[in-house]
């Protein structure tokens, strides 16, 4: 396999394991490039990419922009905190306006699940989903699995627990799909109010006790607790969350093994993860960020090739 | 005026002419004679079916307030094109159908299709104060509901059930718990989980049915549950009926054909309320029709314009149009649900629920008839869509079976019969 079967990256759901591995192999090459003195390749010369962000993002947008620039693409950025427009300029209007300026690829983050799928029905440009509401965040899942593969040699057969707010997490959903396609076993762990009622229908294990979850796993991917959720009474207090679901060194020390610690960022230090864990040797949090650029370069490269082909 | 239909196959399981090929002579809106080789039978309907005119339990014709989506005139044309001679018109317009004037306005538009207004049960559909139910009934409201809005206020529901007993009136509720359905865009289950969409759990509907049945036991009266969608709802209503309570219910055609899996492509034409449930629920609803627990089938005709539908899934409005494609839709599932059952549930069923006169295919009866070609293949597209809106799960699909026109008493929609 030398190219993807799809012209968009809307979700992990649409990819085969073979395609994911193609992305990884391509990313291996780009990771080498990123460690050279000259980090730039001409692959996307004359390709214009628009990063269209209807929701706040720092690292994902930066990571995409850097990936695009390393590939020599022309890059424009559009940010609007007011997504979800019904009357007035719609999503389709906004994107069509951008495309009229001869843009080839759209990287979009949007608060509505399925927004990039909706767009894909209406426009010709390649679309990369950079997060659609509580649905998918495919490049995050790709870089997470890529990082596990890098650290442990292989994803297949590994046991991965995703900890925290699964209910509102596109990272969790995309990770579940990617890990399962690559042959890993997946567990979710958190307070029951933060776990979707039907999550086990996706074939994942469900655990409410963090200690048992950590004892089971090889890798723990710890999700950010969004502080504003607390107001919606999903759990009584941050203090209690951190006591019962926070991952700290003391807890890890009681395990009879070493596990890999991951976090998609940004971290709430002292809430879902303590500093002594986040900064420890077990943590690959910064490697995830580094790999993000290489993986996104691979996705951009493969999709742009798809268009040309 | 005389009309003579020749060689028509009667499709009406309750008629002694069921599946017989006969001629039908109609004079001044009355069926004068049914037989073979009748003189004056000059409209050849060989290979075509004649059934009772379909009846819709609740269609939203959007007038007044949203005439850009549908109005009563366009709604009537849509209904005729689907074989409907009777339509109960939903009250959730802007303003709501809650005054004597509003009821008279709707009734005054009856013609090709007889319109039967359902009045709002609460002022402005807010669920706080009762409308002038006696006056509305006196002027022709056939039932009382808040349209797609559930009657959330138990006190108001209780009083409404008591108040309508003076004329044995009917309260229609859309069973849905406001709290459990808030922010929901589809059924809560495996599919909503994998799509990352907020779902409405089945318990939202079932809880409300249980609640309403208890209130009905206490208050007396009659209640109809509009568009039930879950397996357990069928069981609950079955039990209530067995206890002798005056409970009826209907199901929408969409829920007989589709399930939540159809939402996997985020197609907003499948975004309806109540949401499409699982295939297990779908099968239970079909079973409920066969066993007689479910009294009627509705098309749940709910027009939405492009601006309300061609959007991100969570921003799109609920609803689908359905009158025009009703027969083809039922025809497509005839192996699971025989047309003998489904046609009965969309002709006699709705009329029984709201208490309309039952037409018959018999000499001396008022002619309320629909003509179908059960074999005609057609694709539902913009060129043949009669509605002002085009929000249908059948867009672009090839369908089998089509309505060719109706005879509603003295009014024959001949322009459709012409191409027979």
Cβ–Cβ below 8 Å for A118 and B307: no
How does pLDDT run across A20-40, given as a tens digit for each residue? 999 999 999 999 999 999 999
- Quickly tell me which residue has 């048992």 as its tokens: A212
Among the partner-chain residues A112, A136, A173, the one whose CB lies closest to the CB of B313 is A112
Which of the following CATH numbers is that of domain A138-285: 3.30.930.10, 3.10.20.90, 3.10.450.50, 3.40.50.1370?
3.40.50.1370
Average pLDDT over residues A50-62: 92
pLDDT at A86: 54
Read off the pLDDT of residues B61-87 as tens digits, 9 standing for 90 and up.
999 999 999 999 999 999 999 999 999
The pLDDT tens digits of the residues spanning A152-205 come to 999 999 999 999 999 999 999 999 999 999 999 999 999 999 999 999 999 999
The answer to whether the CB atoms of A136 and B310 lie below 8 A apart is no
Q: Does residue B195 sit at the A interface (CB-CB below 8 Å)?
A: yes
- Res A307 pLDDT > 60: no
CA distance B76 to B73: 5
Q: Which of A93, A94, A113 to mutate to test the interface with B (most CBs of B within 10 A)?
A: A113
B186 by DSSP, 3-state: which? strand
Contact B195 A197 (CB under 8 A): no
The reported pLDDT for the residue numbered A306 is 65
- What stretches in chain B show pLDDT beneath 50? 416, 420
pLDDT for position B1: 82
Band the pLDDT of A226: cuts 50, 70, 90.
confident
CB-CB under 8 Å, A173 with B196: yes
Q: How far is B199 from chain A (nearest CA, A)?
A: 10
Subunit contact A113:B313, Cβ cutoff 8 A = yes
Per-position DSSP letters for A145-201, written without gaps between them = HHHHHHHHS-STT-EEEEES--TT-HHHHHHHHHHHHTT-EEEEES-GGGS-TTGGG
Mutation to test the B interface, candidates A91, A114, A135, A166, most B Cβ within 10 Å = A114
**Phi, psi of B223, rounded to the nearest 5 degrees:** -130, 145
Q: Where are the domains of chain A?
A: 12-136+289-308, 138-285
pLDDT band at A227 (very low <50, low <70, confident <90, very high): confident
| Three-state secondary structure of A209-225 | CHHHHHHHCCEEEECCC
Q: Do A118 and B196 count as a contact with CB atoms less than 8 A apart?
A: no
pLDDT in tens, A235-246: 888 899 999 999
Residue A92 contacts B where some CB pair is shorter than 8 Å: yes
Q: Which residue on chain B is closest to A195 by alpha carbon?
A: B193
- For the stretch B198-207, pLDDT in tens is 999 999 999 9
* A181–B contact, CB cutoff 8 A: no
**Which residue among B188, B195, B201 sits closest to A135, beta carbon to beta carbon?**
B195
The sign one gets for the Cα dihedral B153, B154, B155, B159 is positive
Q: Residue A174 — left, alpha, or beta (φ > 0 → left; ψ -120 to 50 → alpha)?
A: alpha
For residue A56, the model assigns a pLDDT of 85
What is the radius of gyration, based on Cα positions, of chain A?
A: 19
Q: How many residues does chain A have?
A: 309
Q: Is B197 touching A (CB cutoff 8 A)?
A: yes
Q: Which of B187, B189, B191, B196 to mutate to test the interface with A (most CBs of A within 10 A)?
A: B196
CA–CA dist B58, B173 (Å, integer)? 12
pLDDT for the residue numbered A237: 87
* B52-66 burial code (b ≥16 CB/10 A, e <16): bbbbbbbbbbbbeeb
Query: Residue A196's closest CA among A184, A183, A206, A181?
Result: A206
Residue B111: burial class (beta carbons within 10 Å; 0-12, 13-18, 19+)? middle
Q: Give the tens place of pLDDT for each residue, B33-67.
A: 999 999 999 999 999 999 999 999 999 999 999 99
Q: Do domains A12-136+289-308 and A138-285 have the same CATH topology?
A: yes
Q: What is the DSSP string of B74-136?
A: HHHHHHHHTTEEEEEEPS-SSS-S-SHHHHHHHHHT-SSSEEEEEEESBGGGSSSSB--HHHH
What is the architecture of the domain spanning A12-136+289-308?
A: 3-Layer(aba) Sandwich (3.40)
Please judge whether B312 and A134 are an interchain contact, meaning their C-beta atoms are less than 8 angstroms apart: no
From the list A115, A170, A202, the residue facing B193 with the nearest CB is A202
- Tell me which of A196, A197, A232 to substitute to probe the interface with B (most B C-beta atoms closer than 10 Å): A196
Q: What is the DSSP letter of B305?
A: -
Say yes or no for a CB contact (<8 Å) between A84 and B315: yes
Q: What is the pLDDT of residue B172?
A: 98
Residue A233 pLDDT > 60: yes
**Nearest CB to B195: which of A92, A114, A199?**
A114
Local confidence band at A223 (pLDDT 50, 70, 90 cut-offs):
very high
Partner B contacted by A82 (CB < 8 A): no
Q: Is the distance from CB of B257 to CB of B289 less than 8 angstroms? A: no
CA angle B264, B267, B271 (to 5 degrees): 95
Chain B nearest C-alpha distance from A201 (Å)? 6
DSSP assignment of B41-70? --EE-TT-EEEEPEEEEEE---TTT-TTT-
């Amino acid at each position: 396999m030398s190219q993807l079967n799809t012209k968009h990256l809307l979700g992990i759901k649409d990819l085969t394991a073979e395609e994911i591995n193609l992305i990884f192999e391509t990313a291996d090459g780009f990771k080498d490039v990123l460690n050279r003195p000259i980090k730039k390749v001409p692959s996307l010369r004359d390709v214009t990419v628009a990063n269209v962000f209807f929701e706040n993002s720092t690292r994902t947008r930066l990571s995409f922009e850097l990936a695009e620039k390393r590939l020599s693409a022309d890059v424009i950025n559009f940010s609007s905190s007011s997504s979800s427009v019904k009357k007035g300029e719609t999503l389709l209007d906004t994107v069509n306006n951008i495309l009229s300026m001869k843009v080839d690829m759209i990287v979009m983050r949007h608060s509505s699940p399925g927004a990039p799928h909706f767009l894909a029905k209406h426009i010709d440009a390649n679309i990369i989903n950079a997060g659609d509401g509580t649905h998918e965040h495919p490049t995050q899942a790709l870089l997470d699995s890529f990082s596990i593969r890098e650290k442990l040699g292989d994803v297949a057969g590994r046991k991965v627990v995703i900890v925290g707010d699964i209910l509102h997490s596109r990272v969790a959903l995309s990770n579940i799909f990617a890990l399962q396609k690559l042959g890993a076993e997946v567990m979710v762990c958190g307070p029951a109010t933060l776990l979707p009622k039907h999550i086990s229908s996706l074939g994942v294990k469900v655990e409410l006790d963090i200690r048992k979850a950590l004892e089971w796993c090889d890798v723990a991917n710890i999700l950010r607790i969004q502080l504003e959720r607390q107001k919606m009474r999903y759990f009584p207090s941050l203090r209690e969350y951190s006591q019962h679901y926070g991952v700290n060194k003391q807890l890890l020390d009681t395990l009879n093994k070493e596990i890999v610690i991951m976090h998609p960022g940004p971290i709430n230090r002292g809430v879902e993860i303590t500093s002594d864990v986040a900064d420890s040797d077990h943590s690959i949090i910064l490697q995830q960020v580094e790999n993000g650029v290489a993986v996104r370069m691979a996705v951009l490269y493969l999709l742009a090739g798809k268009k040309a082909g | 005026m005389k009309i003579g239909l020749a060689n028509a196959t009667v499709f009406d399981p309750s008629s002694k002419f069921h599946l017989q090929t006969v001629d039908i002579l109609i004079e001044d809106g009355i069926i004068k004679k049914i037989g073979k080789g009748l003189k004056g039978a000059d409209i050849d309907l060989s290979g075509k079916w004649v059934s009772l005119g379909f009846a819709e339990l609740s269609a939203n014709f959007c007038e007044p307030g949203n005439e850009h989506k549908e109005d009563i005139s366009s709604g009537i044309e849509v209904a005729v094109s689907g074989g409907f001679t009777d339509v109960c018109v939903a009250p959730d317009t802007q303003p709501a159908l809650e005054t004597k004037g509003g009821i008279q306005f709707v009734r005054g538009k009856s013609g090709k299709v007889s319109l039967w207004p359902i009045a709002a049960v609460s002022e402005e559909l807010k669920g706080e104060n009762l409308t002038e139910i006696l006056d509305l009934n006196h002027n022709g409201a056939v039932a009382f509901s808040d349209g797609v809005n559930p009657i959330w206020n138990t006190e108001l529901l209780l009083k409404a059930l008591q108040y309508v007993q003076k004329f044995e009136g009917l309260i229609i509720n859309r069973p849905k718990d406001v709290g459990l359905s808030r922010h929901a865009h589809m059924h809560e289950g495996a599919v909503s989980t994998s799509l990352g969409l907020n779902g409405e759990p089945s318990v939202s509907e079932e809880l409300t049915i249980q609640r309403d049945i208890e209130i009905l036991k206490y208050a007396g009266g009659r209640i109809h549950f509009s568009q039930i969608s879950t397996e357990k709802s069928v069981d609950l209503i079955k039990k209530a009926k067995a206890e002798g309570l005056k409970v009826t219910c209907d199901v929408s055609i969409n829920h007989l054909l589709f399930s939540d899996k159809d939402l996997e492509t985020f197609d907003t034409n499948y975004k309806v309320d109540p949401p499409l449930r699982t295939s297990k629920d779908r099968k239970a609803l079909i079973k409920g029709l066969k066993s007689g627990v479910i009294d009627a089938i509705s098309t749940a005709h709910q027009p939405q314009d492009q601006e309300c539908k061609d959007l991100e899934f969570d921003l799109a409005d609920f609803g689908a149009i359905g009158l025009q494609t009703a027969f083809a839709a039922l025809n497509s599932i005839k192996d699971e649900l025989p047309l003998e059952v489904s046609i009965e549930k969309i002709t006699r069923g709705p009329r029984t629920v709201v208490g309309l006169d039952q037409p018959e295919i018999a000499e001396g009866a008022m002619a309320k008839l629909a003509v179908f070609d059960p074999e005609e293949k057609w694709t539902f597209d913009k060129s043949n869509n009669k509605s002002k809106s085009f929000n249908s799960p059948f867009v672009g699909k090839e369908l089998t079976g089509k309505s060719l026109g109706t005879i509603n008493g003295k009014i024959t929609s001949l322009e459709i019969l012409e191409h027979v």
